[in-house]
Structure 1
Amino acid sequence: MVQKQLPTGFRDDIGAVAERKDDVSQYLLSLCRNRQYTKISTPLVEYKDVFNGYTLGRGQHMYEFFGSSDASVVIRPDLTMPIGRFLATTNIELPRKFYYLGDVLMKNKQHRGDINQVTQGGIEMVGYEGIDAELECFAIIKEVNESQLNNTLLLEIGDARFSRAITDALGLTDGERTDLLDALFTKYLPRYNELISEFKNNALYPFLMIWPRLFGTVNDIKNELSQVILPAGAQRILDSLMDLAGQIEATGQQVRIDVSTEPLQSYYTGLTFRGYVDGVSQYIVSGGRYDGLLSGFDGTPMPSVGMAFNIDVLTDVLMQGESNIQDNGKLRIALTKGRVEKDFIPLLESCGIDCEPLRNKARKLIIPLGDSVEVILAKGPDVTTYLNNGVVDLGIVGSDVLDEQDNTSYEMLDLKTGQCQFILASLEGYNPKEGRRQRIGTKYPTITKQYFGSQDVEIIKIEGSVELAPLVGLADAIVDITETGTTLRENNLKIYDWLQPISTRLVANPLALKQKRNTIFALIDQLQSAIDKK
């Protein structure tokens, strides 16, 4: 029987949507053609090693298969690196400006609302040194912003060299640098704060404390750094960004600075930039300088700058107009129903927010709390789904849910409620190191797989009372959550190992954090103060 439905992550376009997407594509192509760029088209399929060094998003994979020569080939996830491959294997005279339009494909985790096929339209300026190439990108972005977006796009600039300047000044090893930057870039602040505690006697400690907040307007950055001294190299980079922001603002384009977020690609070597519209949870345009990319193909460095527009996001914004912007002026919080909800209400009230409507919600699932906050009640796993799709700004959810999922949100604060722990438990006489393949019952297959590592176990997913599994012979042991151990003892189960602790966390949608920066940080600071007083 013929499968009549599309695979997860794909969609058909028809009628007005398809026509508008075509209009947007043709507009961008004409814009580049009129600026004397050269059109380039590359195949949809490339050898996998063309994308060596390309950084996929968390939970993403390339569509991979074997070609006729038994070499691994992929459907391209990116359009810049194929152009690098083309230039390394031809004698095209440089410098030169190229433009393109095409689809890229990335396999995302199923059932999260992600799109696997995206149309990009962009430019690559190869062989151009100096700031003029970046200014050319900004001029194109400004033209698109004025003609298509009614000047609502915010341009965000950063520099891939800034984080290196800081970690070099700290004298970190490669492993220490990786750990620190991973916690910073993912805004995993409980872990980040733990890592920087080792530098309390270092002159850079005041900077490290505010580094996760170093994004926003020029004034936001200046205010955060008013009492901080930076290493000379980092200060020069930041001064250049400040000067550039002033030049951009003088043209009428809104601009932000961000030196706390990871560049979208590891091949960026200098200035980076992205553009977004308030209330829209995806970037419309992104790019940067990548002077070392071509050296990966022929060993010859070549100064280059490029950028790409996400045609699908741009089309959606234009199609839906103001209705696309879900921001109603309120901070929207997805709150896990039940115990997490009950524990969070007193913390929210300590911030001066009237939670009476939440205490007396009846069967309502969306509850306004005054003029500034709106709460959406949801199950734990759904909180991250709403966050990842930009439906809410913040989420309140247990770290067990975050650990089990490929979470792409920022983990900003440990609320110190709902504290318990993952454990390995079974009946008396169980041997965790027994040679045979064991059967492990759990609600948390990802955590269980991580715990056992290379040890071969069969994981049985259980949705109900996990404690039953060893009692009825379904599993040799269980990985579950316990607070006091009472249920385990009453069922004659013994704890054989303690895994990671669990507590309730405040997590943020990455773009919402930028769009509502001051509001979100004000709430986080109030919550932290309330936690410290407990």
Structure 2
Amino acid sequence: RLKNSIMPVRLYYKQAVYRNNPTLMGRRNEFMQMGVELLGVKGKRADLEVLSTAIRAIMSVADDFRIELGHAQVFNALISEIDIDEDFKEKIRVTIEGKNYSALNNLLDKLEPCKAVTAIRSLPSLFGGDEVFDKATELCSGTKAVDALNYLHTLYDLLKTLGLGDKLIVDLGLVQRNDYYTGFVFCGYISGIGDAVLSGGRYDDLLSEFDAPMGAAGFAIDTDAITEKLLSDKNTSYTDVPDVLVYANDGAEIKAINAVADMQKNGINARFCVLETLEEAKAFAEKMGIDKVQIIG
């Protein structure tokens, strides 16, 4: 429905997502997810908007968080230089994603030694700060992966100016599904949750499957996981205390509702009182710590 829209298009959603986990391993098959997508544009500016939006999102729910940043084309470029079938490539990708060094070495030992094999062997251990780019560039020199590394370095340097400190980490072992992502990829973690609560990246080839080829990037948030974390935080208050409680005398109810709407437009946190008597309204305001009761009519 959006093919004829003026690009770029920004979308957001909130819905239940289903993923098949045959072994379960403590994971749910259904969870609530929120996400945003930026469609119809490619390039550094678009990538920075998606990344900075994701960072602001995770900062809004947690102080102790970490963003891991990678690039799909580092792995894709290296693996394309090795003559193996798609099933074997996927086995290698899964072992890197799981940082299973032993299984990865067993798989790579079956291949003829070459620069690409050596570089892939090191991917799970290439995480950290600026030093990662020096080591990775040396390992990948002469391969197509260097272009992706240079671009990732540019994004990393720009994001550092947001003052993230050690919360921003380069992880070249971040190899998401290589049939989906085509550019930068990232994950977000918060303290107390073992799995990533946020993930995304650039996926420029996907919309071609729907006869609408265009650049695309976005991210999704596991809202169930974040909710569980916040509910377990004893320092979090879930009481929304308004600044003003607006009570309507009989016959002035609509006037009071309009007054609440006007206050909210002007940035005042006001709430319409649904209690029947002024005495009940005043008692409620005192219990809640509401500073002002405004009587209409």
Q: Work out which of the residue numbers 227, 234, 240 in structure 2 matches 1:315.
A: 227
Match of 1:239 in 2: 150
* CA separation of 1:208 and 1:142: change in aligned 2, threshold 3 A: closer
Give yes or no for the alignment of 1:101 onto 2:14. Answer: yes
Instruction: Map 1:515-534 to 2 at 5 A.
Output: none
Matched, 1:170 2:82: yes
Q: 1:199 to 1:227 in 2, by over 3 A?
A: farther
1:72-471 alignment, distance < 5 Å: 86-87=1-2, 91-109=4-22, 112-150=25-63, 152-198=64-110, 201-204=113-116, 206-219=118-131, 221-222=132-133, 225=136, 228-253=139-164, 254-264=167-177, 266-298=179-211, 300-321=212-233
What do the CA deviations read for 1:490-534 (whole angstroms, capped 9, x no partner)?
xxxxxxxxxxxxxxxxxxxxxxxxxxxxxxxxxxxxxxxxxxxxx
Distance in 1, Cα, partners of 2:180 & 2:173: 17
The alpha-carbon deviation at position 112 of structure 1 amounts to 4.2
1:234, CA displacement in angstroms?
A: 0.9
**SS of aligned partner of 2:108:** helix
Residue 138 (structure 1) shift: 2.2
Q: What is the SS of the residue equivalent to 1:263?
A: coil
Query: Helix, strand or coil: the match of 1:294?
Result: helix
Alpha-carbon spacing, 1:144–1:109, altered in 2? closer, same or farther (3 Å): same
Q: CA deviation at 1:242?
A: 2.0
Counterpart-to-counterpart distance in 1, 2:98 and 2:80:
20
SS at structure 2 position matched to 1:261: coil
> 1: CA distance between counterparts of 2:147 and 2:171?
15
Letter of the 1:318 partner, please give it. L
Give the C-alpha shift of residue 233 in structure 1: 1.5
Cα contact 1:287–1:306 (8 A) shared by 2: yes
CA distance in 2, matches of 1:289, 1:107: 23
C-alpha contact (below 8 Å) 1:204/1:230 kept by paired residues? no
Is 2:34–2:223's contact at 8 Å kept on the other side of the alignment?
yes
How far did residue 283 of structure 1 move?
Answer: 1.3
Distance 1:287 1:265, change over 3 A: farther
Letter in 2 for 1:250: T
Pair 200,137 (structure 1): closer, same or farther in 2 beyond 3 Å: same
Taking the aligned partners of 2:91 and 2:21, their CA distance within structure 1 comes to 25
Say how many residue pairs are matched: 233
Question: Secondary structure at the residue paired with 1:128?
Answer: coil
Q: Calculate percent identity across the aligned residue pairs.
A: 26
**3-state SS in 2 of match to 1:157:** strand
**Which consecutive residues of structure 2, in runs of 5 or more, have no partner in the other structure?**
236-297
TM-score under structure 1 normalisation? 0.39
Tell me how far 1:171 sits from its aligned partner. 4.2
Gaps of 5+ in 1: 1-85, 324-534
Read off the aligned partner of 2:93 and give its amino acid letter: L
Cα displacement (A) at 1:127: 0.6
Q: CA deviation at 1:179?
A: 4.1
**Cα 1:112–1:226 shift into 2, 3 Å:** closer
The offset of 1:97, in angstroms, is 0.8
Q: Please report how far the alpha carbon of residue 296 of structure 1 lies from its aligned counterpart in structure 2 after TM superposition.
A: 0.6
Cα distance in 1 for partners of 2:59, 2:90 equals: 40
- Letter aligned with residue 122 of structure 1: G
Secondary structure, in 3 states, of the residue corresponding to 2:205? coil
CA distance in 2, matches of 1:96, 1:102: 19
Does structure 2 retain, via aligned residues, the 8 Å contact 1:169–1:231?
no
Aligned-partner Cα distance in 2 for 1:261–1:305: 17
How far residue 207 of structure 1 moved from its aligned partner, in angstroms, is 2.6
AA aligned opposite 1:286: S
**Contact 1:119/1:310 (CA < 8 Å) preserved in 2?**
yes
Quote the Cα distance in structure 2 between the aligned partners of 1:228 and 1:302. Answer: 32
Q: Which has the higher contact order (CA 8 A, sep 6+)?
A: 2
**One-letter amino acid matched to 1:260:** G
Task: Give how far 1:113 is off.
Answer: 3.1
Checking the alignment, whether the CA contact within 8 Å between 2:13 and 2:35 is kept in structure 1 is yes
TM-score normalised over the length of structure 2: 0.67
- Relative distance call for 1:211 and 1:129 in structure 2 (3 A) is closer
1:438-492 CA-to-partner distances (Å, cap 9, x unmatched) read xxxxxxxxxxxxxxxxxxxxxxxxxxxxxxxxxxxxxxxxxxxxxxxxxxxxxxx
Aligned-partner Cα distance in 1 for 2:168–2:149: 15
CA 95–185 in structure 1, closer or farther in 2 if over 3 Å, else same: same
Once the two structures are superposed, what CA deviation does each residue of 1:193-235 show, in whole Å capped at 9, x if it has no partner? 133235575344543442221223333x257548635333212
Residue 247 (structure 2) aligns with: none
Displacement, 1:302? 0.9
Tell me how far apart the structure 2 counterparts of residues 243 and 198 of structure 1 sit (CA, whole Å): 35
> Which secondary structure state, in structure 1, belongs to the residue aligned with residue 105 of structure 2?
helix
For the structure 1 residues 93 and 247, does the alpha-carbon distance in structure 2 shift closer, same or farther, using more than 3 Å as the test? closer
